[in-house]
Structures are given as C-alpha cells and as structure tokens.
Amino acid sequence: MRIRRKTNHCLNCGRTLGEVYNYCPNCGQENTHLKVSFGTLLMDTIATYFAVDGKIGQTVKPFFAKPGYLTNKFLEGMRATYLHPIRMYVVVSLFYFFVLTLYGTDLMRSADIGSGPTDMVAFDYQDSLTSEDDYVITFGNKYNISKRLLEGTITLAKNDTLTATQIADSLQVKEDDSFRRFFIERTVRIQRSDREALTGYIIKNLSIMMFLLMPIFALILKILYIRSKRLYIEHLVHALHLHAFAYFIYGFSLLLYHYYISTGWILSGSFLLVSIYAYISFRKVYMQKWFKTMVKFFLVGWIYVFTILFFFIGELLISAMLY
C-alpha cells in the first residue's frame, strides 16, 4: 500500500479534508505531501514497492531451487502469490542486457581497431577471387564480398580524409556496382563510428530480437509436445520462466568472469547449470519419462540455437544497414 503523509487541507485547492480522504473530492489531487528528506522518500519508495510486491520474496526460492514449479503453479491458477512471469522476464532481461552492454563496451574499448596503414592504395578485388574460400559474404554469383575488398575497405577507412566514394574508387569498384558500394559505405560508417554507441545499439536490437524469439521458442515446445494438449500460452509461460533463469545466471556469470574471475569454467559452468535447470523443468512441467524428455530437450536446444544464430546474423546485418 502506498505511504501517504496526509494533511488537513488540499494543497492544491485549499479544501478542508478529513483523515479518511486519500484524494481531494474537489480537485482530485492526492492527499499527501513530500516535505521530507531524500533518504526518507527513498526508503518510503522501497517500502512501498516491497509492500505491493511482497510476492518477490515468495518467488525467489522456487525460482532458483524448484525448476518448473512456478510454471505449474501459474498454470494451476495460483497467480497472486508469485511474481508474474512477464514482469519477471522484463526485470531479469534488463539486468542481463545491461551486463552484456558493459561487457561489450569494455571489449570495444580494448580492441585495437584503429591501428594499421592508412595510405591510399589501389586494391583490385577482382584479381583475388580465385576460389570460394576468398568470399566472406555471398549471396549468389553477383552479390558477394571478398576478403580482399573487406580488408581494403577497413584499411582505407582508417584515413578520415577519404570519403566512402573515394575508397570505392580506390578499390576499383565500378560505379554501377551498387551492392558493393553500399557495403563500402556502411563499413566505413561503422568503422568510424563511436564504439560504445555502436555496441549499445547492437545489444539494444539484440534484446528486441530475443523478446521476439520468445513466441518461436514457445511454438517449438508446442510442436514437440503436441500430444500433451497444452495450450500455446502455457508453453509461452514456461518459456518466460526458462529465459528469466538463463538471463540471470548468464548475467551474473558474465559479471564474475569480466570483473573478478577470468576463467572459462565460469561461463561453461553457467551453461551447464542452465541446461540442467531447463531439463528438470521440462520433466516437472510436461511429466514425461527421463529419456523421452532428454530427446525432446536436445531437439528443442538444437533447433533454438540455430534459430538464434540465423536471427542474430540478420540482426547484425539490419543494425549495420540502419545505424
């Protein structure tokens, strides 16, 4: 319940108010004043938040210690006792992508991208296309980018006096070759952009991508558990709980890895922990035998990993085109 410091009159219109009035019946303003210290106001805000959401304390233990428990209870109709799965997902995902932004920004700061020659050298990328291995981007025979063209663009982009058009001309890209000239223009822009801003932009788009992938993950569950007769929304609730747990563990592990314990077992251990948690959750929610659950668990994992990779590549390309 909201904490109010009531007055005997409305601070807006001056009407006399009784103790029972939370709002002025004349003008509608809330009957409370804020003439307190910042510390008191902050403590009141925290107290109000946890008074309204005391369910957070009820949620923490089963969230970490009982995989699938919150999903089952929510589907059984117990929705006032525990934190709503959408709210949980939003809060934990904010934490995870915030940590990911910090980590990515620090990596970009330490990366030595700006070094190297900046002379205006002519690169004839057509001479280097001797095998398919020389391509780094390929969309058929016409739309492809060679290593030679990519390396030449990055090298010349380090010279801030050159425009994208001058770089394309130096690389002997024809004027009517709109695909490669557009690629050069985007590469130059990204190369010369602020690294921290670019990292934040990509991760912001990544968070949107992962949220949009949630219904796809639920659809995969729906297809593999079609005989369970569960509604699609039930699989979506399960997906929200699983992703919230994964985001928390990965975010916390990334903090440890980046700032305290820089060993690979931290990240490997977090992946193993999330996998075990998800498998147990599958067992508890869908109530199938361990071997059948294991098979479906691996199928869901592989399908989802390839889906994420596909969308991630698309997200990078879209970010590069729109940044």
Q: Which residue has the higher pLDDT, 258 or 35?
A: 258
Q: What is the pLDDT of residue 308?
A: 95
- Is it the case that residue 42 has pLDDT exceeding 70? no
Model confidence, pTM: 0.71
* Rounded to 5°, angle at Cα 255 from 249 and 257: 95
Q: Which ranges of 35-141 does DSSP label H, i.e. alpha helix?
A: 38-52, 55-65, 69-75, 85-110
Q: Which ranges of the chain does DSSP label H, i.e. alpha helix?
A: 38-52, 55-65, 69-75, 85-110, 147-157, 164-170, 178-191, 195-224, 232-259, 264-286, 290-322
Give dist(CA 8, CA 31) in Å, integer: 9
* Rounded to 5°, angle at Cα 188 from 183 and 192: 150
Q: What is the pLDDT of residue 5?
A: 61
Q: Which residue has the higher pLDDT, 295 or 132?
A: 295
Find the range with the poorest average confidence among 96-105, 121-130, 150-159, 193-202.
Answer: 121-130
